[in-house]
Amino acid sequence: MSMTELKTPYLVFLGDAKDLLMAKVAKGVAHWRPEKCLAQYRLPEAKADLGLPEMSIQAAAQAGAKTLILGLAPMGGTLPQNWIPLLIEAMEAGMDIASGLHIRLNGIEDLVAVANRTGRRLIDVRHPELSLVCGSGKPRSGKRLLTVGSDCCVGKMFTALAIHKEMESRQLKATFRATGQTGILIEGSGVPIDAVVSDFTSGMIEQLSPANDADHWDIIEGQGSVLHPAYAGVSLGLLHGAQADVIILCHEEGRVQMDEMEGFEVPDFDTLIETNLHLGRVTNPNIRLGGIALNTSSLSEEEAMKAIARYQAKYGVPVVDPVRTGVAAIVDGLEG
């Protein structure tokens, strides 16, 4: 398998992003890996601001920047023509280009020609160059935690990153394993699992999270939901390949219908927990629920605390909101 490692530090390109929603990839990188971010580079009309030092391409290159991160999603998913000279300038100044866009930089002839001439890399994290390997299901050493969801976009990546950060703060052996384009740009490596041919999903995750020290934790970013009518295949392959010792169920409190799936309700927690544990036992008979992570952003503080207490009483595991409460209670349970 070929997992591209991004060279640091980064110059984060915000283009003409009007707000941080348009630049959510950049926001994620700057929030979770500030030590990797040297500076930001914005076009004059940009309104989004990460609070990083402002640098031109040349200034950043002279200061040691190694990778230009395309940290936004332009309208229509295409690459604006006026960006191409800037990307060429960055490569000629010594930087690789890393992109989470749907459009492939390696499909743009002008960029490929400069990459070949300069020896710089065009890294399309949504379009990996992987050797495909089937899963073996064989046990491997080390410990693994996987975030699983009630739906898409409920906080699986955020929860995994928060748990990893908490473990690092306690000097525990832990590695964040990214499985989506934003997570890959944050961590600097990983596998965009939704771009892997379905037969090889579990095998890719086995390689992403290889055998390790007995006391080392891989914190694996989940995708989708095993009960999602469109994306269950990705989620199940992830679950089997992860051979998770622990799953953390992630849910946006108050969400009753699956995102953009009219007529499909979000399953109840009993069904979600039972299904994930049942399917997970195929490759790890000892899989267990290690906690529940709630996104309570739609609730008041009082309502959020009541919901957390209610779920904790019912399921007997730590329940947190990674933003409101942090995830220390979950990590306490892993250390015990």
3-state secondary structure 194-257: HHCCHHHHHHHHHHHCCCCCCCCEEEECCCCCCCCCCCHHHHHHHHHHHCCCEEEEEEECCCCE
pLDDT-derived band of residue 132, with 50, 70 and 90 as boundaries?
confident
pLDDT-derived band of residue 1, with 50, 70 and 90 as boundaries?
very low
| pLDDT (average), residues 60-67 | 98
Model pTM score: 0.93
pLDDT of residue 128: 72
| pLDDT (average), residues 62-88 | 90
Average pLDDT, the chain: 94
Q: What is the dihedral of CA 149, 153, 157, 163, to 10 degrees?
A: -60
CA gap 153, 231 in Å, rounded:
12
Environment class of 144 (CB within 10 Å of its CB; exposed 0-12, middle 13-18, buried 19+): buried
CA gap 142, 220 in Å, rounded:
13
CA gap 206, 243 in Å, rounded:
8
Q: By the 8 A CB rule, do 223 and 160 touch?
A: no
Q: Over the stretch 246-263, which tens digit does the pLDDT of each residue have?
A: 999 999 999 999 988 999
Q: Over the stretch 9-36, which tens digit does the pLDDT of each residue have?
A: 999 999 999 998 889 899 999 999 999 9
> Percent of the chain scored above 90 by pLDDT?
88
